[in-house]
Amino acid sequence: MLESAHHLIERVGKSLGLSSEDIDFLLSIDQEHIFDITLKNGTTHKAYRVQHKNTLGPYKGGIRFHPGVDLDEVRALATLMSLKNAAVGLPLGGGKGGVATDPRKLSEAELEELSRAYVRHLHPHIGPDKDIPAPDVNTNSQIIDWMTDEYEQITGDTTKASFTGKSVAKGGSNGREAATGRGGVIALRTVLEHLKTDKKELTYAIQGFGNVGLFFGVIAGQMLPNLQLIAATDSSGGISSAFGLDPDELAEYKKQGGKLNEHKAEDAVTITNDQLLAEEADILVLAALGDVITEKNADTVRAKIILELANGPISDSAYDLLTSRGITVIPDILANAGGVIVSYLEWLQNRAGEHWEEAKVNEKLEGYLIPATKKALEYADKAQVSLKEAAMAVAMRRILETRDAKMSRKKES
């Protein structure tokens, strides 16, 4: 993953005519914090926080708890956070954290102990003006509430702006839970308007009907009524129906803990995840994991548009194969940026001591995401590059221009 991220930065950097010093600046990491957390039960867990760049503002990015977490993965994700925040115009840098652990093997008390210990190790390096972590894979608002409380106890900071993704009762923002899915709908709508597709009804399939995929389906039903869901899967596989599936009904079923391949819907047949990728749908929504489309299965994809809601669901080599077939890929750094945008709005509310209505949060989310998507679309048309390269180019330029402006202000003073 780190190699893919670096390769993309180098490729876009060369197309922008950047110097090797500038490319090295974008690849290099400001600081890395690596430590061990030993729990009372005697187990030790490797923990990381990587702070990539704070050129635009405080570092920002999630913390994941997963057995597969390692330094290179956290470095790659921190780098991508810098680019995502820059691509959508947030005054934030990029960071990412992780603990190599399987949270399913921890009791609730151990999970709380781990979360609080993470903050005790890291607290001098994070905070509302330095680095503001958030939830990521296997971390949720409960874990962030524990972390925020620990930070408050150690430092006395009562703003709650040290973390985002808190529960609404503990200073979280309305609209945060649905924000990534909602952002995906907004990015897709903006691209569809730009492409001026003349097809009245468009069909779509979702891989990964979890938090992000489920909200995408429900909100697409409200905001894009000409879209029809025809297939959806989770890790068990799923179902497909040429007559359409009801996203609200599937969301309700998933919230009750059901597996999609056991769901009984009229005229639907069960499918595997491989079959989902090859569905005859206009739009393919990837909302599960990284690297699900590689050069091995890229030729099975039949959709004309792919929305990357997961981080890095298409490998580098598969990307080229898909774009050479004229498939439009709406890249992760735009498609799933809704989460970090509303995290930023949560931070603003905490700092101002305010709590906004969801309608205001959603309006501001659109205010960041629509212009950012339009800017990338314009760049892609002008430079004749893919939307991913365009979004990356906009982001990389913004970071470098801000760095140069800061340096020249420093020289003048």
Comparing CA positions, the residue from 78, 68, 59, 131 lying closest to residue 100 is 68
Comparing CA positions, the residue from 279, 137, 104, 107 lying closest to residue 210 is 137
The single residue listed with the structure tokens 């959806």 is 232
Smallest separation (angstroms) from ligand NAD to the CB of 371: 20
Is 259 assigned a catalytic role? no
- Could you tell me how far CA 232 lies from the centroid of its own chain? 20
Smallest separation (angstroms) from ligand NAD to the CB of 172: 13
Contact 233, 271 (CB under 8 A): yes
Residues that bind ligand NAD (CB under 6 A): 137, 180, 207-213, 233-235, 273, 287-289, 309-311, 336, 339
Helix (H, G, I), strand (E, B) or coil at 163: coil
Smallest separation (angstroms) from ligand NAD to the CB of 50: 16
Helix (H, G, I), strand (E, B) or coil at 226: coil
| Count of CA atoms in the C-beta half-sphere (13 A) of 130 | 12
The single residue listed with the structure tokens 């993309």 is 8
By beta-carbon proximity to ligand NAD, the closer residue of 203 and 207 is: 207
- Active-site hit among 96, 166, 254, 388: 96
By beta-carbon proximity to ligand NAD, the closer residue of 212 and 298 is: 212
Comparing CA positions, the residue from 62, 109, 79, 107 lying closest to residue 9 is 79
The closest residue (CB) to ligand NAD is 210
Sequential DSSP letters for 239-268: EE-TT---HHHHHHHHHTT--GGG---TT-
The single residue listed with the structure tokens 């940026």 is 337
By beta-carbon proximity to ligand NAD, the closer residue of 61 and 171 is: 61
Q: In Å, how far are 162, 165, 178, 223, 386 from 365, measured between CA atoms? A: 21, 15, 11, 14, 24
Smallest separation (angstroms) from ligand NAD to the CB of 176: 8
By beta-carbon proximity to ligand NAD, the closer residue of 50 and 385 is: 50
By beta-carbon proximity to ligand NAD, the closer residue of 155 and 275 is: 275
Structure tokens that stand for 169 in this block = 């009762």
Smallest separation (angstroms) from ligand NAD to the CB of 62: 8
Smallest separation (angstroms) from ligand NAD to the CB of 363: 19
By beta-carbon proximity to ligand NAD, the closer residue of 310 and 385 is: 310
Q: How far apart are CA 372 and CA 202, in angstroms?
A: 24
Active site residues: 96
